[in-house]
Amino acid sequence: MANWYDYWRAGITNSVGPACGMYALKNITYSAQVLAKSCKMVPVMIMGVLLHGKRYTGVEYLCMSLIGLGVAAFAQKGSSKVTSKLADPNAPLGYALCAINLAFDGYTNAAQDHINEKHRRNSSIHMMCWMNFWTALYYAIYMFILSRTGMDLISFCTRHPDATVDILLFCLCGAVGQLFIFFTIKTFGALVTTLVCTTRKFFNILLSVVWNKNPLLPNQWMGVGMVFTGLLVQGWIKGKKHAKPKPKKE
């Protein structure tokens, strides 16, 4: 099992990265943020190769490129309503924050992969608990020691008890969701986890478009085809790997 202090570096990037991504939403729309973060698998691969010597096949690179480009093509809607919402005077700052988020997420996922490979008996719950421990510790230091954010939050929740219930429900849903995320990291690795999270964002946009009855443009249909092509090929490759019979011991 990994030691509790093995996660302190990943805890830093796991704290700063998502915070930058959330703050970016003040400068760019959600669709623009998804577009910028659709290439999350790129820093995961780069960090894995540079820091831990991981190697990926050419087909894996192709699948990741298809998915990233497909999400990007889907988000570029030209003169539609969604595109009009992307106009923001602070767009450069928003995209810069997303880039920082991507870089930090890449290190976090690569570090988690490295810990799992070094400690094969490490459980997903163990990783989740200690990652959250370090993340909560860093946030607490910032909120209650380096700034007044924590006290402002407590004051706000005191004045608005309904918001407190919503925050608690949000935290509960996030905790349950993390169980599946860390299980995926432990079982399939950071690259597959990134694939799942990116695809989930894609379906969020797709559901939003269908729900709001916005017609898809040709470039969006092309993006849908690219995403599903990448997913099908990736699934087929994974299936072939698991279907290979293990050599019998003599």
With cut-offs at 50, 70 and 90, classify the pLDDT of residue 31.
low
* Token pair of 179 as six digits: 């169980």
With cut-offs at 50, 70 and 90, classify the pLDDT of residue 39.
low
Residue 223 lies in a domain: yes
Instruction: Give the residue from 184, 237, 228, 174 showing the smallest Cα distance to 202.
Output: 228
Highest mean pLDDT of the ranges 15-19, 109-113, 198-202: 15-19
pLDDT of residue 164: 92
Mean residue pLDDT of the chain comes to: 77
Residue 151 lies in a domain: no
How many folded domains does the chain comprise? Answer: 1
Residue 138 lies in a domain: no
In the chain, % helix, strand, coil (3-state, to 5) comes to 80, 0, 20
Convert the pLDDT of each residue in 79-88 to its tens digit: 445 445 544 5
Residue 92 lies in a domain: yes
Residue 67: pLDDT over 50? yes
pLDDT, mean of residues 215-235: 73
CA–CA dist 139, 189 (Å, integer): 26
Residue 141 lies in a domain: no
Residue 184 lies in a domain: no
pLDDT, mean of residues 40-61: 73
**Alpha helices in 86-189, H assignment, sequence order:** 91-118, 124-141, 149-159, 161-188
Residue 249: pLDDT over 50? no
Helix 30-37 crosses helix 8-24 at what angle (to 10 degrees)? 140
Highest mean pLDDT of the ranges 59-73, 140-154, 214-228: 140-154
- Residue 35, domain extent: 4-122+190-239
Convert the pLDDT of each residue in 140-190 to its tens digit: 999 999 999 999 999 999 999 999 999 999 889 888 887 887 778 777 776
Q: Write the CB contacts of 100 (distance below 8 Å, at least 6 apart in sequence).
A: 16, 17, 20
Residue 194 lies in a domain: yes
With cut-offs at 50, 70 and 90, classify the pLDDT of residue 137.
very high
Q: Which one has a higher pLDDT value, 177 or 51?
A: 177
What is the pTM assigned to this prediction?
0.65
